[in-house]
Chain A
C-alpha cells in the first residue's frame, strides 16, 4: 500500500548542529505536513506545504515540498535540547480525506 518512508530512522546530534531529514513516497501528494511528537503527547504541527517547490520556514525549521511531489525535506538549524522528539511527515491522498503518516525520525540532541 501507499506509505511514506522517512530517513534517517533516528539520529544523535550535538547541540548547535543542523539537522536534515526527508520523507519519500512512490505516490504524488498535493500537501505535506510535518509534525513533532514528544513522548506521551499528540503530534504538533510544525509546517504545512501546499505547492511543489515551496520552501517554508517556522523559526529554526525549514521544510521543502519536493519538485516531483513525491518527497519533502525538513531542516532544523542550530539544534537545541528541546528539539528532541519524533518527527513525522504526513500527507493526504489526493482527492481523499485519508491522511497517512511517515515512519518517523527520532531525534536525540546531545548537550
Chain B
C-alpha cells in the first residue's frame, strides 16, 4: 500500500541554523501539505501546495518557512534561522484531490537547541 515517507525521522539543530525536512508524497497525489504539532498539542496546518505553487498558508508560515518540489517525487520544507519554538513534529501529507482524504507521513521530530 502506498504511503507518505519522511526523512529524517529526527533532526537536532542549533538555534539559528537552517533545516530542510523532506517528504515523498504518494505518487499519484497532486496536493501536498505540511503540518506542525508541538508536543501535546493539536496538529496545526502550515501550508498546502498544488501545481508547483503554494495554495494556502497559515499565519504560522511566515518568511522563515519555504516549500519546494525540487523534482517529481520530493516535497521539502525549509526552515531558516531556526528558533527554540520551532521544536515540534512536522508532518507531511498528500491527497489526490482537494478536500479529499489526506494521508500523513510518520513525521520528523525537530529539536532546536
Chain A interface residues (CB < 8 Å from chain B): 30-31, 33, 35, 37, 40-45, 48, 88, 90, 92, 96-104
Contacts and interface: CB of A to CB of B under 8 A. Distances in A.
B97 to A, nearest CB: 10
B107 A41 contact: yes
Nearest to B92: A42
Q: Which 6 A-B pairs rank lowest in CB-CB distance, beginning with the nearest? A: A97-B48, A42-B104, A101-B43, A97-B55, A97-B56, A98-B56
Contacts of A40: 107, 109
Interface of B: 4, 31, 33, 35, 42-45, 48, 50, 55-56, 58, 91, 98-107, 109
A40 B26 CA distance: 21
A43 B43 contact: yes
B8 to A, nearest CB: 14
Contacts of B98: 92, 97
A91 B113 CA distance: 34
Given A92-B98, A104-B42, A43 B55 contact: no
Nearest to B106: A42
Contacts, number: 59
A4 to B, nearest CB: 9
B42 A33 contact: no
A104 B37 CA distance: 12
B19 to A, nearest CB: 18
Contacts of B105: 42
B102 A99 contact: yes
B105 to A, nearest CB: 5
A97 B31 contact: yes
A93 to B, nearest CB: 8
B16 to A, nearest CB: 27
Nearest to B54: A97
Nearest to A101: B43
Given A33-B102, A97-B98, A101-B42, 5 more contacts: A35-B104, A41-B106, A42-B4, A43-B104, A96-B56
